[in-house]
Amino acid sequence: MGMKTVSPTWDHLDTWCSPPRLGQCLAHSKRFTDTLLMLCTQGNNQGHARRAGAELDGGEGPEDSVGPPSRGMGNALGLGVGGRRSPRREEPLPNPGSFDELHRLCKDVFPPQIEGVKLVVNKTLSSHFQVTHTVHMSTVGQSGYHLHAAYAGDRQLGPNEAFPVLVGDVDSSGNLNAHVLHLVAERLRAKAVFQTQQAKFLTWQFDGEYRGDDHTATLTLGNPDLLGESVIVVAHFLQSLTRRLVLGGELVYHRRPGEEGAILTLAGKYSAPRWEATLNVGSGGAHASYYHGANDQVQVGVEFEANTRLRDTAFSFGYRLTLPQANMVFRGLLDSNWCVGAVLEKKLPPLPVTLALGAFLHHGRNRFHCGFSVTVG
Question: Tell me, what's the pLDDT at 38?
Answer: 56
Q: What is the pTM of this model?
A: 0.74
Contact indicator for 232, 253 with CB cutoff of 8 Å = yes
Per-residue confidence at 87, pLDDT binned at 50, 70, 90? low
Per-residue confidence at 199, pLDDT binned at 50, 70, 90? confident
First to last CA, the chain: 82
* pLDDT reading at 345 higher than 80: yes
Selection from 250, 194, 195 nearest residue 219 by Cα: 250
Question: Tell me, what's the pLDDT at 7?
Answer: 43
Question: Tell me, what's the pLDDT at 140?
Answer: 85
**Cα distances (angstroms) measured from residue 90 to each of 87, 178, 211, 242, 273:** 9, 43, 20, 11, 20
Q: How far apart are CA 287 and CA 338, in angstroms?
A: 20
Per-residue confidence at 198, pLDDT binned at 50, 70, 90? confident
Question: Tell me, what's the pLDDT at 66?
Answer: 41
For residue 227, which amino acid is it?
L
Report the pLDDT averaged over residues 276-280: 98
Question: Tell me, what's the pLDDT at 42?
Answer: 52
Q: How far apart are CA 95 and CA 271, in angstroms?
A: 13
Report the pLDDT averaged over residues 28-55: 49
**Comparison of pLDDT for 195 and 7, the residue scoring more:** 195
- pLDDT tens per residue, range 326-335: 999 999 999 9
**Cα distances (angstroms) measured from residue 366 to each of 33, 348, 363:** 88, 34, 5
- pLDDT tens per residue, range 116-155: 999 999 999 999 999 999 999 998 888 999 999 999 999 9
Residues β-bridged to residue 368: 361
Per-residue confidence at 246, pLDDT binned at 50, 70, 90? very high
* pLDDT reading at 196 higher than 90: yes
Question: Tell me, what's the pLDDT at 54?
Answer: 45
- pLDDT tens per residue, range 120-130: 999 999 999 99
* pLDDT reading at 64 higher than 50: no
Q: What percent of the chain has pLDDT over 70?
A: 76
Residues β-bridged to residue 151: 129, 166
Report the pLDDT averaged over residues 278-286: 95
Which residues, 6+ apart, have CB-to-CB distance to 153 below 8 Å?
128, 162, 163, 164, 165
Helix, strand or coil, per DSSP, at residue 91: coil
Selection from 315, 316, 279, 281 nearest residue 300 by Cα: 316
Q: How far apart are CA 308 and CA 306, in angstroms?
A: 6
Residues β-bridged to residue 366: none
Contact indicator for 137, 143 with CB cutoff of 8 Å = yes
- pLDDT tens per residue, range 152-195: 999 988 888 899 999 999 999 999 999 999 999 999 999 999 99
**What φ, ψ does residue 45 adopt, rounded to 5°?**
-60, -40
Question: Tell me, what's the pLDDT at 31?
Answer: 53
Between CA 66 and CA 73, with CA 68 as vertex, the angle to 5 degrees is 115
Selection from 91, 89, 63 nearest residue 75 by Cα: 63
